Amino acid sequence: MYTGRGPSSDAMHLGHLIPFMFCKWLQEVFNVPLIIQLTDDEKAIWKNLNIEDAIKLAYANARDIIACGFNPEKTFIFSNLEHIGNNSAFYQNMIRIQKCVTFNQVKGIFGFGDSDPIAKIAFPPTQAAPAISGSFPFIFKDAKVHCLIPCAIDQDPYFRMTRDVTPRLGFPKPALLHATFFPALQGSKTKMSASDSNTAIFLTDTAKQIKNKINKHAFSGGQATVEEHRQLGGNCEVDISYQWLRFFLEDDEQLEQIRKVSLALIVLILSLKQNRMIEISADCCVVYEKQLKLYHTPCTIVYIAKDFL
């Protein structure tokens, strides 16, 4: 299993957690190894960051990811800027992928223009390479393992390209599971963004900050007046409290019951879910450098090919 994160800020928000929470569940259920790529090189290119700053962001985001509770014996998290130079198999697969994709193809897939730096054009194979088990011989040896990629839907172009290339290199096509965008506080049609702190709940936010953001900025599906609300009820399709419960409330029957009852109940249930958000933030604060390096060490994954083939 493979997923990743482009570290563009020093803290992740709830929207970034969705693929990782799903990966944790899949890892527990199927007992499979997980590769997590931190594309600090991508952010250094697109955000014009210093290399050193991009690596620092990768380590900061790794703390948030580790706080999800992955099995350290079956999880490998790596920074592109630090790892690729020490993994010749990974780099060799990058070159093989680059040879399979023409300049016209990469322009058509990603919309690159003539004024874009060549670093942007060269990056897609870097994100594609972890989908090939041969990129990690210290984990998978010579096994050609099928890869599942849970990811946000905006990453689809990278892996459509990957699916076209991997059979030509003698490896199976990766399978994808897309996650929809997590809505911002401002409404169900908006996207939570790390660049605007008022749209997002960050994993480093305190309990007080979380409460204030929800109370002040969360878009309500309530009617204009109390009378209208009693008569018509809340509009769950636009209410952020309800939309967030669609992601975090595991009981579908309870979710449907909430939808049928009232907006007031939604707010009460959300207050319970805030406790989980606070717990996640607290977990992030207790991850130390020693634990961080454990997940960055290639030899930590226990993998037996016959168990997964």
- Per-residue pLDDT tens over the stretch 58-116: 999 999 999 889 999 999 999 999 999 999 999 999 999 999 999 999 999 999 999 99
Both 177 and 202 in one domain: the answer is no
Both 103 and 137 in one domain: the answer is yes
In a domain, 290, yes or no: no
Both 89 and 63 in one domain: the answer is yes
In a domain, 191, yes or no: no
Q: How far is 223 from 245, CA to CA, in rounded Å?
A: 20
Both 179 and 209 in one domain: the answer is no
Lowest mean pLDDT among 10-19, 28-37, 75-84: 10-19
228-249 pLDDT, tens digit each: 555 555 667 777 877 888 888 8
Residue 231 has a pLDDT of 57
Cβ 135 vs Cβ 109: under 8 Å: no
Range of the domain at 256: 197-284
In a domain, 209, yes or no: yes
Both 239 and 104 in one domain: the answer is no
Query: Which residues, in sequence order, are bridge partners of residue 151?
Result: 178
In a domain, 292, yes or no: no
In a domain, 107, yes or no: yes
Q: Give the pLDDT band of residue 222 (cuts 50, 70, 90).
A: low
- Domain CATH code at residue 227: 1.10.240.10
Q: How far is CA 178 from CA 28, 135, 164, in A?
A: 19, 23, 18
Instruction: Report which listed range, 17-26, 83-92, 201-210, 271-280, is most confident.
Output: 83-92
In a domain, 189, yes or no: no
In a domain, 271, yes or no: yes
Residue 168's Cβ-count burial label (10 Å; 0-12, 13-18, 19+) is exposed
Q: How far is 260 from 280, CA to CA, in rounded Å?
A: 29
pLDDT above 50 (res 172): yes
Q: How far is 63 from 144, CA to CA, in rounded Å?
A: 30
More confident residue, 174 or 186: 174
More confident residue, 159 or 268: 159
In a domain, 293, yes or no: no
Both 251 and 275 in one domain: the answer is yes
Coil/strand/helix, residue 243:
helix
More confident residue, 268 or 17: 17
Both 40 and 168 in one domain: the answer is yes
State how many domains the chain has.
2
Residue type, 184: A
Both 25 and 155 in one domain: the answer is yes
Both 29 and 124 in one domain: the answer is yes
Both 110 and 235 in one domain: the answer is no
- Domain CATH code at residue 65: 3.40.50.620
Residue type, 165: V
Both 21 and 109 in one domain: the answer is yes
Instruction: Report which listed range, 6-10, 232-236, 273-277, is most confident.
Output: 6-10
Both 163 and 244 in one domain: the answer is no
